[in-house]
Chain A
């Protein structure tokens, strides 16, 4: 059966793969392709955040009554990630390889520990308490 865990974990992995390619392009100072891939990567990550913030988290909070718990922490980390993505864009525009890789590395670790918490704890809880199929459809149509 298709689950929220699987659906959103696949999105995490897609983001990881895009990130790895992006980092390699910047490392090689292939700026032209890096700009294109950065757009794809940031849009992908931000769309994922949107699905969670607009559909998954509100539904979780409504069903469980927990509003100041894990979803709140996840929102804070999303905000931190957004800020880092903006800084990456600034460095990319300036063609500053060192600055870009430094911010990107921080973003990567932030996202990894963030994803871990979601994949190990939050998503399985969502699968347990929410209607997975309906939510996946909603997220797909966002």
Chain B
């Protein structure tokens, strides 16, 4: 019972902000690469994909988990600053070396090892706290599974790097195994688990059916396993996420709260999750289209969530300080800027689809430029919003 003394403690603002800002910076870097590739007419797919999934996705998700663990699950990481710093430094240095390795080869192994160390450390740290609490609600249950999938998926990735350097025998289909587990078992499961709580509360909707939400990770485990046997066996996985997406959209359409600023990001995200699921059985033939729609799914929801979490954290931490002029959420990042950010993001999505369908090189350059503008604007919003906290704090 005495652990209650430290219960509910939110982690310091710098932890979440540090991860979020780094993610936004990687988003900018990814779009710079995108522009460069579209001008040059070639693509380094591993580098670009990992910039999005690790640079933008994983940094955001770890930052969000540091914040959500105590709030959603009551799992408090004591003295979180040094732990988050270890996690951050390992991941940042490892990822940068790995990224360099995708172009020059040499640093790929050492970078992957350091990054893997960072992911393993952070995942185990979180799992340790998650397994010490009762997970009788869907969200922490989903977190547990997602983190385990993350460890499995990245372990397979590391094995692949070892194979590339000739240290281990080459595994057939290891790449497919790697991305299937990480995209559906980690990214999509984490998003779904968060939705099970957030949609009902932020948009004032009916709750997801409890049994569905509770059993979702278990069904996912089974359907992921089945999907490894080939196209037709991926059907349960597709149906499962379709159900989740259908339930989410249905709730959002019937929501009682009409004015939520992030709603458009949610719709876009869910729409593209459905598209990626439709493509998935044929994804080896339409690999780019699958990856792109999955990217739109998770990047849109990340942006929408970050636009709500960041301003709230600035307000929340400042309002706990005496004699500080506390800005409201809309003064940290205005609704107009959130909307503009959405339109820029959506414009990029539409222009890239048009370029893809028309197979126009010039179109890719235009859409990449739009993406760069959108990413820079997103970074600017997160940076300005976060800096407001430090400015007001020091006054």
Give residues in A with beta carbon < 8 Å to B.
16-17, 19-21, 23-24, 27, 64-66, 68-70, 73-74, 76, 80, 101-103, 105-106, 108-110, 112-113, 115-117, 120-121, 125, 129
| Chain B count of residues within 8 A CB distance of the other chain | 33
Q: Is B312 an interface residue (CB 8 A)?
A: yes
**What is the bound-complex CA distance between A41 and B296, given in angstroms?**
38
Instruction: Give B316's nearest chain A residue, CB to CB.
Output: A110
Whole-angstrom CA separation of A57 from B331 in the bound complex:
34
29 sampled A-B residue pairs with Cβ under 8 A:
A17-B256, A20-B257, A21-B256, A23-B259, A24-B258, A27-B258, A64-B4, A66-B4, A69-B6, A69-B7, A73-B8, A76-B320, A101-B330, A102-B328, A105-B261, A105-B328, A105-B329, A105-B330, A106-B315, A106-B328, A109-B202, A110-B315, A110-B316, A112-B201, A112-B202, A116-B71, A116-B72, A117-B71, A117-B74
A120 contacts B73, C-beta separation under 8 Å? yes
- Asked if B74 contacts A23 (CB within 8 A), the reply is no
CB distance from B350 to the nearest CB of A (A): 28
Residues of B within 8 A of A113 (CB): 71, 312
A102 contact set on B, CB distance < 8 A: 328-331
A68 to B5, Cβ gap below 8 A?
yes
State the CA gap A121–B137 with chains docked (Å).
11
- 9 additional contacts, CB 8 Å, given A69-B7, A74-B8, A110-B316? A16-B256, A64-B1, A69-B5, A80-B319, A105-B261, A109-B312, A109-B329, A110-B315, A117-B74
Q: How far is the CA of A90 from the CA of B197 in the complex (A)?
A: 32
Closest 6 CB pairs of A and B: A20-B256, A121-B74, A102-B330, A69-B4, A112-B201, A20-B204
Given contacts A109-B312, A112-B202, contact A70 B7 (CB under 8 A): yes
Of all chain B residues, the one with the shortest Cβ separation from A71 is B4
Q: Would you call B308 an interface residue if the criterion is a C-beta within 8 Å of the partner chain's C-beta atoms?
A: yes
A121 to B69, CA, bound (A): 12
Contacts of B6 in A (CB 8 A): 69
- Cα of A20 to Cα of B259 in the assembled complex, Å: 9
Residue of B nearest to A117 (CB): B8
- A interface: dominant SS: helix
Q: How far is the CB of B308 from chain A (nearest CB, A)?
A: 7
Compute how far the CA of A5 lies from the CA of B315 in the bound complex, rounded to whole angstroms. 28
Q: What separation, in Å, do the CA atoms of A45 and B72 have in the docked complex?
A: 22
B9 vs chain A, min Cβ distance (A): 8
B394, CB-defined interface residue at 8 Å: no
Q: Given known contacts A20-B257, A80-B319, A102-B329, is B1 in contact with A116 (CB within 8 Å)?
A: no
Shortest Cβ distance from B312 into A: residue? A109
- State the CA gap A125–B7 with chains docked (Å): 12
Contacts of A70 in B (CB 8 A): 4, 7-8
**Are A19 and B2 interface neighbours, CB within 8 A?**
no
* Cα-based distance from A94 to B8 in the complex (angstroms): 36
Residues on A with beta carbons closer than 8 Å to the beta carbon of B315: 106, 110
Residues of A within 8 A of B257 (CB): 19-20, 23, 108
CA distance A44 to B269 in the complex (A): 35
Complex Cα distance, B4 from A23, in Å, reads 35
Tell me which residues from 173 to 228 in chain B have a Cβ below 8 Å from any Cβ of chain A. 197, 201-202, 204
Expressed in whole angstroms, the minimum distance between the Cβ of A55 and any Cβ of chain B is 19
B318 to chain A, nearest CB (A): 11
Q: Which residues of B contact A65 (CB under 8 A)?
A: 1
